[in-house]
Structure 1
Amino acid sequence: MKHDELPLVDETYQAKDGKPLCGLRVIDLMPDAMAGIARHFAELGADVVRIEPAAGGPDRRAGRIVAGVSVDFVAANLGKRSATPDQIARLARDADIVVTPRGGVDHGALRAENPALVILTVSDFGDTGQFANWIGSDAVFHALSGELSRSGAPNRQPLLPPGELAIAVAVVQAVYVALLAYWNRLRTGYGDCLDFSILDGATQALDPGYGIGGSAAGGVLASKLPRGRPDVSFMYPIYPCTDGFIRLCVLAPRQWQNMFEWMGRPEAFASPEFNKMQVRFASPTLMSAMAAHFAGRSLSQALAEAAEYGVPAAAVLSLSDALKSEQIVARRSFLPVRLADGVSALFPDGVMEIDRRRMGIAGPPPALPQSDIAWRDRPQMVQAPALGDRLFSGLKVLDFGVIVVGAETGRLLADQGADVIKVESSSFPDGSRQSRSTGPISPTFATGHRNRRSIGINLRDPRGKDVIYQLIRETDVVLSNFKGGTLQSLGLDYATLRAINPAIIVVDSSAFGPTGPWAQRMGYGPLVRASAGLTMQWRYPGEPESFADAMTVYPDHVAARIGAIGVISLLIRRLKTGGGGEVSVSQAEVMLGQMAPMVATEALEHAGHRVSSKPGRSAVYAAAGDDEWCVVSIRDAADEARVAAVTGGQDLAVWIGERSPRECMEVLQAACVPAAAMLRVSELPAFDYYTQRGFFRQSRHPHISEVLTMEADPVRAERLPSPPDLPAPLFAEHTSAVLRERLNLPESEIETLLASGAIEEVKPPTPVQA
């Protein structure tokens, strides 16, 4: 079915019932893009009431405009209703969550009337320290999160990523922490006040420099990267074909052997040493030989042959072509929304599926505020069990996930007290365990897999499979992120697991979703970015082959948070129904969903409608020093005047070039102009903002000599405990302990299983000295 044949979302559209957060009541005071926080709650079934003046908020008339309607407003507010400010106190008495900018509500008064209320206060830099009144922008958040320092070509100006990715991922982090506080309220009866910083959210959820890295990083932390933007194009190379570009992800030895076979087994690359990524990456001739291999092929021919030979590959599509791809159309990833008479545009129909139903658009954008609005009826809310001091104490999780999405989803649950067991096999090792170091565990694996345990099980052995099935009976949540069909081939699909344990919650995160013609495609993040139209946008202007997204691990971390949001939502539903459910996340749809205003604009312009561009601009300027840079965002004429006052009329680029980026940042921020120095990942822990927020903490791992820097709390809160500090596991370190504890297996049976190879266990080496 084509996009133009889909049902139109207009005033008659009705949200589907049975969504997991049905009955949740959310008051939304957020303007602009951060209004998307409450939109996520609406998509999951919550009743969301937006508060704005009787004539409508300014964001209704801001951003990209078509036929008098703001595309940005629609993208952030689908499915909400609207009420006037005088109703806040009345509505808050029976509300569950309030999402507000700093100063938007009287926290004390609202909580005095409703002690169970969760108040999420959103600001650019949080409520603490000297940065509380600084002004952010997407470019500023990229600069101060360390992301900008990794975007662009070596010896070139750093390149601002396309769209508003930093703000988009911060929206998802805000939803995640608000749901944590709400789950804690169900456990304890008490609400919370959350001090949420957009910069915190961007640093945590885009590509955290002190979190888990991709397999091609070889276990090296981003803080150890050389100064400047390293040349990493060889990791996920892009080659021109006769009519387009193709991207490859040749990482594992098997994948290289398939590529070697496809190239005709050239003698120059026949050495077994080329099975090692480091050897291939260092070869001075391999890249040019691969480029020659594609030079005479059409894109369709190259993709067909890649599939035939088993080489992970994807076309580098434009955004327009991505929207028209057979996968996106087949999955109905977007719905047309009526904006005005004769004007409709495509908007994402949610970023996850639950029980194979889209958690998508809950209705049209809100009409102008009602003067006397009432909450919808809701089912009785059920208290959650409080089994320990932490939010998810007592929650048992089996984690089959690999690389970044797998690591991050499990960590988010483990950090809140869940007992997360990583299921591993020496026959199919997790790529994130590979390391350029000689130690038993890499620093990036250690930071990304804290607070969980590891067991080794051969899932191809019937006895190993039986052990897994026994564990499933005692498990609450199963995590996975394989390509479509993998769980079924292992006998671990949701239908099978539900038959064993009807209360099981299963998360399946994949590149393109569980259905559709691309469901079984290999889905590394770089291939997803290419297929979703992001890679094509991530280029220097006017330089068609200057692709610059290879260093960024996206959308893995934010997709993991969406998976965790799905888990918490189903835990809430399970309190009422007793049954589990299935969460499916398409990483391509996550990415496209975070470009919603751009997608809508693309569709509108393709249909012949004129859309005014979003006002304002951001740019990167060279500052004094070696590879030192400062970003400045000019929002309007008032910012132009402020800049002129600061520079005395001097050209801004010249003014910045004579000063350090820190001085430029501080002077411009003092004048209320969004500006930021570009920080490298290695500079983040010592930067005053992060120290004042307590954003990082130091940790030791028994098998790593260096002290590790890790993310601390997911948000500043009154009642959420800090994550524990248990070391990441070595491979199959806890097999016997878990089977004794979870299944009460006797030692004799464990020894028999070990001897047969059905399970594995590795005795840890002697810890290093502190």
Structure 2
Amino acid sequence: MAQNPAQSPIGQPQLADPLTSLSGAPQGALSGIRVLDLSRVLAGPWATQILGDLGADVIKIERPGSGDDTRGWGPPWMKDEQGQESRVAAYYLCANRNKRSVTVDMASPQGQDLIRQLACASDVLVENFKVGGLARYGLDYASLRALNPRLVYCSITGFGQTGPYAERAGYDFLVQGLGGLMSVTGRPDDEPGGGPMKVGVALTDILTGLYAANAIQAALAARQHTGLGQHVDMALLDVQLACLANQAMNYLATGRSPQRLGNAHPSIVPYQDFPTADGYMILAVGNDGQFARFCQEAGRADLAVDARFSTNRARVEHRQELIPILRHLTTARTTAQWIQALESCAVPCGPINTLDQVFADEQVLARGLRIEMPHPQVGQASLVASPIRLSETPVDYRLPPPVLGAHTDDVLAEILGLDASALAALRTAGTI
């Protein structure tokens, strides 16, 4: 936890309590860690929500009057208990639970001083301003390290703190294109609907948030040995390239850029979507034994002993011949019939669900992946649960995504020791 915060003319920063959570609930894995969140939109908030789910006290600093950009990113808007549309954006709710919202005018000297004091009483700071953007406020890494050498300071940008693109603004969609993901996503150019395609969610932002949360926890672990924090430099482009995984290695191994294959796999056949009598299914054959069992079930056992198709290597080489044959076979049954038959003979397959089907799926229900949290503006808010399962320090859903500025007075009084008159003066000045 944070130690030895700097003295302040406004108040004495108070340290996070390592023994009890905000709700008095059993401790999470990161209880006692305080995170100052200066980020907005998705990559940064995704990282800090993970830390909050794991027990950290996350203080989200927002601009007075407007807050995080995603507060206005609707429709869709959540509906209240009367079924009326609120002004709570669904987008904002996806990445901001287990946080306390504090509104501070960062452009004012008093606001900058408040944030510096909070940084002195924090273990982690996360920001996603443009490179150098916080230096003019005295809130850059060098400035805050001088005040709190134990601070783990995580910067998330499109292209990192160095390199010729460092000054550019970075957005998920741009990086999906620039970083190669769209070159391997979508149908081939010569097929109907062919051409590059972005992933249906801002995956680069989300992956960057995941990497950032990992890096922050690694830096906290290192601090246990060194006593010092460090600067974590996360870039969307770096993460996107790292997450190309086998596709990047395929290029490095061959010198040839992988091509778009739609839903097919570059190294495994058959491993894609297939039409059925009433829709589509996914067939994910991972080895020759599974292929032989599929062929037997489909009434074409001869395909498994055909030299063109008997091994995965042969099937990859003769993809264009095999896939039309299989597509003709799969239209003979419904999706449900295929799934029942293939599961019984241990051939991996599955449906292509819409989200209403996903949230009704018995496995999703059994794992509790939809949760409900009370929300002051909409009554009950449905959220997607954390996928993290820890046996001894489980994820704790303590706080719903906060209303703008809901915790300003509480946080500034609790951590900085400000009394009612000091808070009133700051509010009159427009600082909070």
Superposed pair shares fold, TM > 0.5: yes
Q: CA deviation at 1:633?
A: 2.0
Deviations 1:149-182 (A, max 9, x none): xxxxxxxxxxxxxxxxxxxxxxxxxxxxxxxxxx
What residue number does 1:690 align with? 364
Q: Secondary structure at the match of 2:342?
A: helix
Q: Is the 8 A contact 2:55 2:395 kept in 1?
A: no
Question: What are the within-5 Å matches in structure 2 for residues 146-225 of structure 1?
Answer: none
What residue number does 2:384 align with? 710
Structure 1 Cα separation of the partners of residues 416 and 123 of structure 2? 15
What residue number does 2:153 align with? 506
Q: Secondary structure at the match of 2:134?
A: helix
Residue 19 (structure 2) aligned to one of 366, 381, 387:
387
Q: Does 1:623 find its partner at 2:261?
A: no
What residue number does 1:679 align with? 353
Q: Does 1:546 find its partner at 2:195?
A: yes
Q: Does 1:404 find its partner at 2:42?
A: yes
Deviations 1:352-382 (A, max 9, x none): xxxxxxxxxxxxxxxxxxxxxxxxxxxxxxx
What residue number does 2:69 align with? 431
Q: Secondary structure at the match of 1:664?
A: helix
Residue 632 (structure 1) aligned to one of 262, 269, 283:
283
Cα distance 1:691–1:564, how it changes in 2: closer, same or farther (>3 A)? same
Q: Secondary structure at the match of 1:393?
A: coil
Structure 2 Cα separation of the partners of residues 635 and 550 of structure 1? 24
Residue 111 (structure 2) aligned to one of 453, 459, 464:
464
Q: Is the 8 A contact 1:713 1:723 kept in 2?
A: no
Structure 1 Cα separation of the partners of residues 404 and 65 of structure 2? 12
Structure 2 Cα separation of the partners of residues 530 and 489 of structure 1? 32
What residue number does 1:326 align with? none
Q: Is the 8 A contact 2:18 2:33 kept in 1?
A: no
2:391 counterpart letter in structure 1: E
Residue 756 (structure 1) aligned to one of 409, 412, 429:
429
Unmatched 5+ stretches in structure 1: 1-384, 760-770
What residue number does 2:337 align with? 663
1:630 counterpart letter in structure 2: M
Structure 2 Cα separation of the partners of residues 654 and 688 of structure 1? 31
Structure 2 Cα separation of the partners of residues 561 and 550 of structure 1? 17
Q: Is the 8 A contact 1:400 1:423 kept in 2?
A: yes
Q: CA deviation at 1:712?
A: 4.4
Deviations 1:503-532 (A, max 9, x none): 111111111111111112111100111111
Deviations 1:670-702 (A, max 9, x none): 222221111122222221222233333333323
Deviations 1:632-652 (A, max 9, x none): 123343232111111112954
Question: What are the within-5 Å matches in structure 2 for residues 258-407 of structure 1?
Answer: 387-388=19-20, 389-407=27-45
Residue 92 (structure 2) aligned to one of 413, 422, 445:
445
Cα distance 1:493–1:666, how it changes in 2: closer, same or farther (>3 A)? farther
Deviations 1:224-259 (A, max 9, x none): xxxxxxxxxxxxxxxxxxxxxxxxxxxxxxxxxxxx
Q: CA deviation at 1:754?
A: 0.8
Cα distance 1:748–1:699, how it changes in 2: closer, same or farther (>3 A)? closer
Deviations 1:521-556 (A, max 9, x none): 111100111111111222211249633216321112
Q: CA deviation at 1:480?
A: 1.3
What residue number does 2:4 align with? none
2:107 counterpart letter in structure 1: R
Q: Is the 8 A contact 1:484 1:510 kept in 2?
A: yes
Q: Does 1:497 find its partner at 2:144?
A: yes
Structure 2 Cα separation of the partners of residues 701 and 661 of structure 1? 39
What residue number does 2:13 align with? none
Residue 581 (structure 1) aligned to one of 225, 230, 239:
230
Question: What are the within-5 Å matches in structure 2 for residues 472-621 of structure 1?
Answer: 472-543=119-190, 546-549=195-198, 551-606=200-255, 614-621=267-274
Identity of aligned residues (%): 27
Q: Is the 8 A contact 1:643 1:652 kept in 2?
A: no
Cα distance 1:603–1:443, how it changes in 2: closer, same or farther (>3 A)? closer
Structure 1 Cα separation of the partners of residues 405 and 45 of structure 2? 15
Q: CA deviation at 1:433?
A: 0.9
Cα distance 1:707–1:659, how it changes in 2: closer, same or farther (>3 A)? farther
Residue 415 (structure 2) aligned to one of 720, 742, 746:
742
Structure 1 Cα separation of the partners of residues 115 and 18 of structure 2? 27
2:376 counterpart letter in structure 1: P
Matched positions, count: 369
Q: CA deviation at 1:599?
A: 2.4
Cα distance 1:589–1:666, how it changes in 2: closer, same or farther (>3 A)? farther
Cα distance 1:549–1:415, how it changes in 2: closer, same or farther (>3 A)? same
Structure 1 Cα separation of the partners of residues 243 and 430 of structure 2? 45
Structure 2 Cα separation of the partners of residues 416 and 634 of structure 1? 37
What residue number does 2:5 align with? none
Structure 1 Cα separation of the partners of residues 290 and 136 of structure 2? 58
Q: Which moved more, 1:537-546 or 1:484-493?
A: 537-546
Deviations 1:109-141 (A, max 9, x none): xxxxxxxxxxxxxxxxxxxxxxxxxxxxxxxxx
Q: CA deviation at 1:400?
A: 0.8
Structure 2 Cα separation of the partners of residues 755 and 546 of structure 1? 55
Q: CA deviation at 1:664?
A: 1.9
Structure 1 Cα separation of the partners of residues 372 and 296 of structure 2? 42
Cα distance 1:672–1:731, how it changes in 2: closer, same or farther (>3 A)? same
Structure 1 Cα separation of the partners of residues 131 and 273 of structure 2? 41
Deviations 1:573-614 (A, max 9, x none): 111221111111111111111224332332343399xxxx73
What residue number does 1:645 align with? 296
Q: Secondary structure at the match of 1:632?
A: strand
Structure 2 Cα separation of the partners of residues 706 and 572 of structure 1? 37
Structure 2 Cα separation of the partners of residues 387 and 562 of structure 1? 28
Q: Secondary structure at the match of 1:685?
A: helix
Cα distance 1:720–1:664, how it changes in 2: closer, same or farther (>3 A)? farther
What residue number does 2:402 align with? 729
Cα distance 1:426–1:386, how it changes in 2: closer, same or farther (>3 A)? closer
Cα distance 1:414–1:618, how it changes in 2: closer, same or farther (>3 A)? same
1:645 counterpart letter in structure 2: Q
Deviations 1:66-105 (A, max 9, x none): xxxxxxxxxxxxxxxxxxxxxxxxxxxxxxxxxxxxxxxx
Unmatched 5+ stretches in structure 2: 1-16, 21-26, 78-84, 258-265, 302-324
Structure 2 Cα separation of the partners of residues 663 and 700 of structure 1? 41
Q: Is the 8 A contact 2:268 2:285 kept in 1?
A: no
Q: CA deviation at 1:427?
A: 7.0
Cα distance 1:757–1:709, how it changes in 2: closer, same or farther (>3 A)? closer
Q: Secondary structure at the match of 1:676?
A: strand
Q: Is the 8 A contact 2:86 2:378 kept in 1?
A: yes
Cα distance 1:756–1:557, how it changes in 2: closer, same or farther (>3 A)? same
TM-score (norm 1): 0.45
